[in-house]
Amino acid sequence: MDLIDLSEGKVINKQWVVDEKLGEGSCATVYRVHDLNDPRVKAALKVEARSDDNYGVLKKEVDVMRKLQCRKNTVRVVYAARREYYSYVVMTLLGPNLMQLKKRCKANTFTAGTTDRIGIHGLYAIKQLHEIGFVHRDIKPGNMVIGRRGHEARIIYLIDYGMAREYAIWEEGYVRIRRKREHVLMRGTTRFCSPAVHARMEQGRKDDLWSLIYVLVELHAGLPWRGIAEKEIGIMKDKITDEILMADCPPEWIQIMKYIRTLTYESRPDYKKIYDLLISCMKRLNISFSDPYDWEINYDSKSSSQTTTPTPTTATAISKTKDKLNIKSIKDKKQLYDFPPTTDPKEFECNDIGI
């Protein structure tokens, strides 16, 4: 599929002015745009060439995002439309992804404290998608981004729902698990997908969580499969033990992976169990959600051409943390759960979809 190339200054829908290209994938291109009537209003514009069958990847992605509109900490759809040669969506403009942020750190890696908190935010975002009946099927650092400024810059958002698939079916007012297919095409990124994907098995909720753990390992210690073919990666994933894979990671992550291994395609994951283990790791490390992330205090401006100035909220957090590097034990519940709903235990207990 050919990519759509929009020139700087082009006006879309008589409202959105193209500023610059932010990135492109196999099917779509993303631009930063501003409102013609108020240049202070920024947004992201994702454009995809019209497909012959009129059911492109972007259409599916917009459908999923619209179903997520009632969910907190999700991308908002501003406007979506189809033109003769392309389809597009104007949506929330977010910040850099986790791989970009990792490269900005001097050590090109994240500490356990930062990565564990990423895990909680990622778990929350994945659960929001699962609660509307979809699995993502491409959880990876490049699809996990932070907000642009203020409080939103401390939230991890999940993006790119082009590979999402419904695992739940609604019939006559009831919801049930969609029947799994016996053999499927591979969907996802080989580095982060679960072993079931290599075996060409249907992906369920467990597979998104499996990928999340791989993401945490990659960000903190690095995954061992690099520069090899997909088949060999699948073999490595089958043979390596959790203890070896996560030898340099918090032991709580090993417990999470062992739990995920017990799940089937139909299983509803115990999100609260996973959340509790991630919180246990935070407590053991004496980390609070209000503490700066590594990219906020260990920033290498030479590693990225897209440098940014910390927001006032972030700058204040950095200043305060420099004065309290020896963090006292977390006993105050308010201090620990200081960024609801992402960190509120109740959010991980509820079963909105019912299966």
Query: Would you say how long the chain is, in residues?
Result: 355
Other Cβ atoms less than 10 A from the Cβ of 107: the count is 10
- Pick the catalytic residue from 5, 38, 138, 294: 138
The CA distance from 307 to 110, in Å, is 18
- Contact between 220 and 248 under an 8 Å Cβ cutoff? The reply is yes
Which residues does 52 contact at the CB level (< 8 Å), separation at least 6?
none
> What are the two backbone dihedrals, phi and then psi, of residue 16, each rounded to the nearest 5 degrees?
-105, 120
The answer to whether residue 138 is catalytic is yes
Structure tokens at 16: 């959105």
Which residues does 60 contact at the CB level (< 8 Å), separation at least 6?
161, 162, 164
The CA distance from 87 to 99, in Å, is 28
The CA distance from 144 to 123, in Å, is 11
The CA distance from 286 to 205, in Å, is 31
The CA distance from 312 to 242, in Å, is 40
SS3 state at 43: strand
Structure tokens at 264: 């089937």
Sign of CA dihedral 128, 133, 139, 145: negative
- Contact between 97 and 122 under an 8 Å Cβ cutoff? The reply is no
- Contact between 108 and 55 under an 8 Å Cβ cutoff? The reply is no
Structure tokens at 93: 């403009």
Enumerate the active-site residues. 138
